[in-house]
């Protein structure tokens, strides 16, 4: 096994939210400046992959750091180990070289974009010519669309089927999830918008987009109350799940404000131009879920926020607070 350094340690400095209040500094101040370790990739010889499980037989090495989003409980690890080692079927498939970028959060839109794809983008070009191993559970339409859009070759790993890879490349996370190496992030963004004008001043139809969450597991409880406000300020309600990648890029490339409740839909700010604005409707008094704050800063977007109401864990937006924010911004 070999470990090759890709990027040196780096410091990330973030711009404060545009509408920061003194009473809310504690939500963000620990994010203003952070230092991160180097990124790298491993080269592993004669590994076995089954489902989301990568291991070496000769010394029983389990690469849990690269297959689980966070360290699993020991009981879960034992259960997964038993299932993958002893209840899977053998296969005659041997792959000469391949890449592993998935973990158990990779089917989540945000984590696919900014954890899995960022790992891939960070690899040297000669390595990126190889297939990624894609477990069958991740053969979701939108994931396949991203792979085909970026011309990333992939091998579908059938459930409970063991495959031997003679030479496997496993890239590390480019930063802890919710943080970003700006150089790699901009590289990822450029892969999507290279066919579009990148200068914000060329946008003639500046749209305002509200992320419609009717397909979300936690829709907004009082959406009917806030729809008149959205209409008043010319916000278009968009269901991103219904759009192709090209449709998302074309829409957001011409968007000056993207607003929505804190959810994966805000990940689509990746396709916006510098200087555009984000409005993140956050959980109340939450100083942990700052991924969209840090992402907007690294993308040179203007970040605004407001807190939703805390009513029985439902998403409720105060109409007066929303209108006051939009008045001050527009």
Domains and CATH numbers, the chain: 38-174 (no CATH), 200-329 (3.40.50.360)
Cβ neighbours of residue 113 closer than 8 Å, sequence gap 6 or more: 146, 188, 267, 270
Distance (Å, whole) CA 65 – CA 70: 8
Contact 259, 141 (CB under 8 A): no
What pairing do the DSSP bridges indicate for beta strands 207-211 and 235-238? parallel
Q: Residue 127 pairs with which residues in a beta bridge? A: none
**Model confidence over 69-102: pLDDT tens digits?**
998 898 998 888 888 877 777 777 999 999 999 9
**What does the pLDDT average to over 43-64?**
91
Query: Is the pLDDT reported for residue 312 higher than 80?
Result: no
201 pLDDT more than 50: no
Each residue's pLDDT tens digit, 209-262: 999 987 776 778 888 999 999 999 999 999 999 999 999 999 999 899 999 999
Helix axes 319-329, 223-232, angle to 10 degrees: 20
Residue 225 pLDDT: 93
Q: Determine the pLDDT at residue 220.
A: 84
Answer whether 146's CB lies under 8 Å from 267's CB.
Answer: no
How many angstroms separate the first and last alpha carbons of the chain?
A: 56
What is the per-residue pLDDT for 270?
97
- Residue 111 pLDDT exceeds 60: yes
Q: Provide the strand spans (E) within the chain.
A: 2-7, 10-13, 33-36, 39-50, 53-56, 61-62, 94-99, 131-135, 154-157, 163-171, 207-211, 235-238, 255-261, 277-282, 302-307, 309-311, 314-316
Asked if residue 196 has pLDDT above 90, the reply is no
Q: Is the pLDDT of residue 277 over 50?
A: yes
Q: What is the pLDDT of residue 68?
A: 93
Residue 202: predicted pLDDT: 47
Give the pLDDT band (50/70/90) at residue 165.
very high
The pLDDT value recorded for residue 59 is: 82
Sign of the Cα torsion 149, 150, 152, 154 reads negative
Given a cut of 50, is residue 200 above it in pLDDT? no
- State the pairing for strand pair 39-50/94-99: unpaired
Q: How confident is the model at residue 205 (pLDDT cuts 50, 70, 90)?
A: low
Run of H or E residues at 229: helix 223-232
pLDDT of residue 138: 96
């Amino acid at each position: 096994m070999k470990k090759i350094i890709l990027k040196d340690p780096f410091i990330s400095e973030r711009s404060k939210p545009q509408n920061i209040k003194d009473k809310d500094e504690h939500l963000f101040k620990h994010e203003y400046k952070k230092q991160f370790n180097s990124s790298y990739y491993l080269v592993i010889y004669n590994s076995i992959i089954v489902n989301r499980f990568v291991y070496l037989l000769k010394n029983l090495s389990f690469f849990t750091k690269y297959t689980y989003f966070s360290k699993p409980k020991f009981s879960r690890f034992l259960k997964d180990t038993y299932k993958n080692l002893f209840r899977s079927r053998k296969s005659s498939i041997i792959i000469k070289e391949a890449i592993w970028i998935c973990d158990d959060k990779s089917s989540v839109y945000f984590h696919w974009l900014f954890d899995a794809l960022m790992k891939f983008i960070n690899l040297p070009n000669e390595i990126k010519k190889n297939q990624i191993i894609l477990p069958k559970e991740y053969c979701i339409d939108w994931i396949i669309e991203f792979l085909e859009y970026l011309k990333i070759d992939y091998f579908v790993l059938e459930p409970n089927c063991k495959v031997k890879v003679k030479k496997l490349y496993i890239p590390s996370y480019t930063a802890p999830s919710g943080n970003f190496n700006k150089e790699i992030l901009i590289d990822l963004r450029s892969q999507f918008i290279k066919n579009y004008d990148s200068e914000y001043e060329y946008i003639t139809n500046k749209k305002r987009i509200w992320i419609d969450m009717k397909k979300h597991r936690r829709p907004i409880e009082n959406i009917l109350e806030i729809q008149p406000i959205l209409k008043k300020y010319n916000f278009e309600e968009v269901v991103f799940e219904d759009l192709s990648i090209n449709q998302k890029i074309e829409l957001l490339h011409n968007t000056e404000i993207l607003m929505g409740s804190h959810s994966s839909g805000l990940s689509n700010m990746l396709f916006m131009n510098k200087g555009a604005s984000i409005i993140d409707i956050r959980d109340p008094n939450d100083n942990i879920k700052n991924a969209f704050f840090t992402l907007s800063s690294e993308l040179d977007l203007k970040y605004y926020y407001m807190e939703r109401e805390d009513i029985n864990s439902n998403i409720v937006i105060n109409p007066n607070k929303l209108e006051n924010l939009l008045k001050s911004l527009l």
